[in-house]
Amino acid sequence: MTEDANAGRWSPDLVTARKKSRERWARHFFGSPVALISLVCVVGTLLLAFGADVVAPRDPLAQNVLERLQGPSWSHPFGTDALGRDVLSRVIHGTRVSLAAAVSAVALAALLGVSVGIIAGYVGGLLDELLMRIIDSIVAFPAIILALAFVTAFGATLRSVIFAITIVSMPLYARLMRAQILSVKETDFVLAARATGVTPLRIMFRHILPNVLAPIVVAATLGMSYAILAEASLSFLGAGVQPPTPTWGGMLNDAARYIHTNAYMTVFPGAAIFILVLSLNYLGDTLQDAMDPRSS
Amino acid sequence: MLPFLMRRAVGMVGVLLIVTIMLFLLMSFVPGDPITARYGMDGSSLDAEQEAALRKEYGLDQPLPVQYMSWVRALLAGDLGDSIQQRRAVTAILKERVPVTLQISGFALLLSVVLALPLGVVAAVKHNSAWDRLVSGLALAGVAMPAFWLGLLLLILFSVKLAWFPVTGFTRLTTDPLEALRSSFLPALTGALGGTTAMILRQLRAGLIDVMRQDYIRTARAKGVRPRTVVLRHGVRNAMLPTVTVVGLATAHLLGGSVVIERVFNIPGMGRLIIDAMNARDYPVVQGVVLVITIFVVLVNLATDLTYAYLDPRIRLR
C-alpha cells in the first residue's frame, strides 16, 4: 500500500498524525480500567483454552461417584457435578468449544459476508437485488431457530454448530460491507483509479477494501460475543457439541436438573459465559470509539 | 398508503416462500425420517410393506418439490397436515401452543418497554453522569447475559428459595388472569432483562443524546419551554423513530428466545414444540411452527414500518 511507500520518507505531517493516532489508541485501551480488565479477561480465556490440559487441576472427564454433587471445597473449588466430575476443570476445558466455535464462525461469517457485500455493492443490479433478498430472508427468521434447524439437519457436531452460527451471522457483515462499498464507490479516488484503467478486482481489493475494513473489525469483535452466546444456547438445548465434551451451555443444561438441591452448579459455567461476552462487548465498544477519530 | 401496503404484502409472500423452501431443503438432510423416528431405526416393529404404506400415507415417498407443492396447496386450504408423532392436526396443536408463547413474549415486550423508556430518557438527559454510567453499565450487562442462565438464577432465587412464584406450571390468561400473571412473570422478566430491555434502552439513549444536541432543542429552550416539555415533546418524540425499529427487532428476538425460555421454565409453548418436533423428525409440525413464527416476524416488521410512517410524515408522503 501507499502507506508503506511513504513510511520511509518521514514526512513530518504523517509522523505527527501517526503519533496522535497511537496516543488515541493508548488512551482508549489503557486509560480506562474497564477496557483493560476486559482485555485481560479475553486474553486470559484464550490462554486457558490453549493451556487447559496444564491449567485444569483434574481430568474434566474423570468420574467419581463417591464425590458427586458436592459444593465448592478446597479440593473442588467449583464443586462437582452429578457424575462427580470436577466443575472447575470442566469450566476451564469448556473455553475450548466456546472459542473454537466463536472464532471459526466469526472468521467464516466475516469472509463470506464481506465477499457477498463486495459483490452486491460493487456489481449492483440484478445480482445485488437477488443476494440482498436472500440475506433478508435469513434475517427475517429468528437466528436461534434457524441455527437449531441446521444442527438438527447436519448432526450435533462442532462443525455443524460453526456452520449454523456462520449462516446466521453472515448477513450482518454482508449488509455492512455493501453499505460501505456503496458510499466509497463514487468517491474521487476510486473514480480516479478507474479512469487510469485499474482492473475492477484490483480496485476492490487494493483501493476499496482497506478503506472500509474498520467497521468490519468492530463488528467482528461484537460478533464474537454473539457467537459465544449462540453456541452456549445450542449446547443448552442439547443441540451443540455432545457430551462428554465439556461445554458451558451443556453444563448449565445438566445443572438445571438440580436447582432444588445443588443450585451452586448453575453459577460457574453461566458466569464464565457472562464474563467473556461482557468483556468482548466492552472491547468492541472501545475499539469502535478508538477507530472513530471524531470521538475524544 | 395503499401501494405501499400492496408492495409490502408481495414482499411478505416472497419471504414466506423462501423461508419455507429453505426449511424443506434443510429437513431433507436430516438423517432418518418420521417413520424411523417413531418406530425405531431398525424397523423391528414394522415390516417393509407396512413401512412403505405409512410413507405413502404421509406422502414421504414423493420427490421433495412434489411434497412442497402439496404442502402449499393444503396450506391455502387452511390445512397444515397431521403431526406424525401426536397423530392429530398441526393446526389443532398450534392453536394450543401459539397463545402460550404470545402471552409470555407479549408480557416480556411490555416489561422491556416499561423499563427501557424511563431509564433510557434519564440516562440520555443526564448524559455522562453517575446515573448514565449505572444505566449504561446495566444495559451492557443485559446484552451479555445468557437468557437461560438468567432464567435459572431467577428461578433459584424467587421460586426455589423465596417461593414467591411457582417453579413449574403455566396458567393461561383466559383461565385465571391473576395466576397467569404470576406464572408468566419470571419467564417474561427473563426475556426482558436478558436482552430486549437493553436493546431498546441503548437505542433510545443514543438517539436522544443525538436529538438533544440539535438546534431546535436549543431554540425550544431559548423560547422558555419547560425543560420537561423540551425533553418529552421535542426530544423523545424525535428519538422514538429508530427506537421503534429496535422494538420490532426485540419482538423477533423474543419469539426466537422463547425456545430457550420455555425450556428453562418448562412452558408448553411453540418453543418447546419445535424442539420436540425436531427431535422426533415431525416435519409437518416443524414446518407449521416455522410458518407461524415467520408470519409473526413479518407482521411485526410491517407494523414497525406503519408506525414509522405514522410518526414521520416525510415517509408517509413517499
Cell numbers at residue B163, please?
417461593
Cell numbers at residue B215, please?
438546534
Cβ contact (<8 Å) for A136 and B259? no
Taking a contact as any Cβ pair under 8 Å apart, which residues of chain B between 133 and 152 contact chain A?
140-141, 143-149, 152
Which has more pLDDT, B101 or B172?
B101
Cβ contact (<8 Å) for A260 and B263? no
Q: Residue holding cell 455493492?
A: A121
Q: Exposure string (b/e) for A29-45, b if CB count within 10 Å is 16 or more?
A: beeeeebeebbebbeeb
H or E stretch covering B284 = helix B283-311
Cell numbers at residue B273, please?
414444540
d(CA B177, CA B171): 8
Q: At CA B39, angle to CA B33 and CA B44, rounded to 5?
A: 115
Q: Residue holding cell 500500500?
A: A1
Q: Say which residues have a Cβ less than 8 Å from residue A19's Cβ, sequence separation at least 6.
A: none
Tally of residues, chain B: 318
Cell numbers at residue B261, please?
425460555
d(CA B171, CA B107): 14
pLDDT in tens, A148-187: 888 888 888 999 999 999 999 999 999 998 888 888 888 8
d(CA A104, CA A166): 8
Contact criterion met (CB below 8 Å) for B119 and B206: no
Considering CB atoms only, which of B146, B259, B290 is closest to A232? Answer: B146
Contact criterion met (CB below 8 Å) for B32 and B281: yes
Q: Does A45 touch chain B (CB under 8 A)?
A: no
**DSSP letter at A257?**
G
Q: By percentage, how much of chain B surpasses pLDDT 70?
A: 93
Q: Residue holding cell 493451556?
A: A51
Alpha-carbon distance values, A159 to A152, A237, A242, B25, B275 (Å) = 12, 17, 12, 19, 20
Q: Return the pLDDT at B98.
A: 94
- Res. A5: pLDDT tops 70: no
Q: Which residue, among A41, A133, A135, A141, would best test binding to B if mutated, counting the most B CBs under 10 Å from its CB?
A: A141
Cβ contact (<8 Å) for B260 and A236? yes
d(CA A83, CA A66): 9
Integer distance in angstroms from the first to the last C-alpha of chain A?
Answer: 28
Q: Residue holding cell 425450556?
A: B263
For residue B271, the distance in angstroms to the closest alpha carbon of chain A comes to 9
pLDDT in tens, A117-136: 988 888 888 998 888 888 88
Report the complex ipTM.
0.84
d(CA A197, CA B171): 70
Q: Return the pLDDT at B115.
A: 95
Per-residue pLDDT averaged across B32-52, rounded? 68
In A, minimum Cα distance to B256 occurs at A142
- Res. B181: pLDDT tops 50: yes
d(CA B181, CA A203): 59
pLDDT confidence bin for A74, thresholds 50/70/90: confident
Taking a contact as any Cβ pair under 8 Å apart, which residues of chain B between 6 and 25 contact chain A?
14-15, 18-19, 22-23
Contact criterion met (CB below 8 Å) for B165 and B87: no
pLDDT in tens, A20-68: 777 777 777 777 888 889 999 999 999 999 988 888 888 888 888 888 8
Look up residue B231 and give its amino acid. V
Cβ contact (<8 Å) for A274 and B144? yes
Q: Give CB contacts under 8 A, 24+ apart, made by B21-25.
A: B21/B68, B22/A137, B23/A149, B23/B286, B23/B287, B23/B290, B24/B64, B24/B67, B24/B68, B24/B71, B24/B287, B25/B64
Q: Rg for chain A (alpha carbons), in Å?
A: 23
Taking a contact as any Cβ pair under 8 Å apart, which residues of chain B between 279 and 308 contact chain A?
279, 286, 290, 293-294, 297-298, 301
Per-residue pLDDT averaged across A238-267, rounded? 89
Per-residue pLDDT averaged across B2-20, rounded? 79
In B, minimum Cα distance to A283 occurs at B140
Name the residue among B309, B304, B305 with its Cα closest to residue B109.
B304
Cβ contact (<8 Å) for A133 and B14? yes
In B, minimum Cα distance to A134 occurs at B18
Indicate the burial class of B74 (C-beta count within 10 angstroms; 0-12, 13-18, 19 or more): middle
Q: Whole-prediction pTM value? A: 0.85
Per-residue pLDDT averaged across A277-290, rounded? 88
Chain B hits for A32, CB-CB cut-off 8 Å, are none
pLDDT confidence bin for B161, thresholds 50/70/90: confident
Look up residue A10 and give its amino acid. W
Contact criterion met (CB below 8 Å) for B142 and B197: yes
Integer distance in angstroms from the first to the last C-alpha of chain B?
Answer: 9
SS3 state of residue B10: helix
Q: Does A148 touch chain B (CB under 8 A)?
A: yes
SS3 state of residue A75: coil
If you write DSSP's letter for every residue of B205-267 in order, what string do you get? HHHHHHHTTSHHHHHHHHTT--HHHIIIIIIIHHHHHHHHHHHHHHHHHHHHHHHHHHHHTT-
Cβ contact (<8 Å) for A137 and B22? yes
In B, minimum Cα distance to A229 occurs at B146
Q: Return the pLDDT at A14.
A: 65
Alpha-carbon distance values, A49 to A158, A271, A275, B165, B214 (Å) = 16, 16, 15, 39, 48
Cell numbers at residue A283, please?
472491547
Strand partners, A80: A86
d(CA A121, CA A259): 51
Express the helix, strand and coil content of chain A in percent, nearest 5 each: 75, 0, 25
For residue A10, the distance in angstroms to the closest alpha carbon of chain B comes to 40
H or E stretch covering B81 = none
